[in-house]
Amino acid sequence: MSEQRLAIVTIDGPAGVGKSTISRLIADQLAFTYLDTGSMYRALAYELAKTQKATGKSVQELVQDDHFVEQVQALELELLPPLQGEEYGRVRIGKQVLGSELRAEEMGQLASEISALAQVRSGLTAIQQRMGAAGKVVAEGRDTGTVVFPLAAWKFFLDATPEERARRRIRQLRAGGAECIDEAALLANLLARDRADRNRVLAPLQPAEDAYLVDTSLLSINEVVNEILQHIRSHPL
């Protein structure tokens, strides 16, 4: 007998593919909770960078602590909706609420680096599984269909060429008021993050075997959302 599929949508894919916007729209349409796993990696990266500055220890040293996984699992992490006019949600970690500071390019980079560490992944994966235990979630990230929710009923993997993803990111930064953007550096960072996320040993970025693949290079956000919703509706639980 095959295992029971869960009322969970997973949306994985590389940086800059539009996962966040699309996942939030899908969650709204289905009245599901939106679970942004990338923000959790970013929040932990932010905390580690802060502790690193305060203690002078390297991130590697900090995560070597025997109790690190327990500490991460015990973290009070809460995903909060975006402030009005902002695109990304915020994260409450302990008493602190983090928002735009998580979106800095360096924080994405550091999140990617620490996400290759077993101690970090096991801590955050357990929290994510707890958050999704009741079902009715749209989980977004790199490994939500492969590792976090392997029994999710609807799995999607979004992709687009690196050039198109870099163009989208540049448009987004311009819309936010940025003037001097080093476009070549941005593309190089995106390619480096792709390489690191796809080639790491643990939970690498890759489509789940049963994921539905969407190449979004030539599609608008609405077209992707409609395709995903159509697929979900034509494959009921």
Residue number, 210 or 230, with CB nearest to ligand DC: 210
Residue number, 38 or 132, with CB nearest to ligand DC: 38
Cβ burial 163-184 (10 Å sphere, 16+ → b, else e)? ebbbbbbbeeeeeeeeeeeeee
Shortest Å, Cβ 1 to ligand DC: 29
Three-state DSSP string of 195-228? HHHHHCCCCCCCCCCCCEEEECCCCCHHHHHHHH
Residue number, 108 or 132, with CB nearest to ligand DC: 108
Q: In angstroms, what CA-CA distances link 204 with 194, 195, 207?
A: 10, 10, 9
Shortest Å, Cβ 76 to ligand DC: 19
Shortest Å, Cβ 4 to ligand DC: 23
Cα–Cα distance measured from residue 113 to residue 200, given in angstroms and rounded to the nearest whole number: 10
Residue number, 119 or 144, with CB nearest to ligand DC: 144
Residue number, 90 or 193, with CB nearest to ligand DC: 193
Contact 228, 145 (CB under 8 A): no
Shortest Å, Cβ 157 to ligand DC: 12
Interhelix angle 105-114/37-55, rounded to 10 degrees, is: 90
Structure tokens at 51: 């502790």
Beta-carbon contacts of 73 under 8 Å, excluding residues fewer than 6 positions away, are 123, 126, 127
Interface with ligand DC (CB under 6 A):
15, 37-39, 41-42, 108, 111-112, 115, 141-144, 193, 197
Shortest Å, Cβ 129 to ligand DC: 12
Strand partners, 79: 91
Residue number, 194 or 215, with CB nearest to ligand DC: 194
Shortest Å, Cβ 59 to ligand DC: 14
Shortest Å, Cβ 196 to ligand DC: 7
Residue number, 32 or 149, with CB nearest to ligand DC: 149
Contact 39, 79 (CB under 8 A): yes
Backbone angles phi, psi at 104, to 5 degrees: -60, 145
Q: In angstroms, what CA-CA distances link 36 with 27, 44, 187?
A: 11, 13, 23
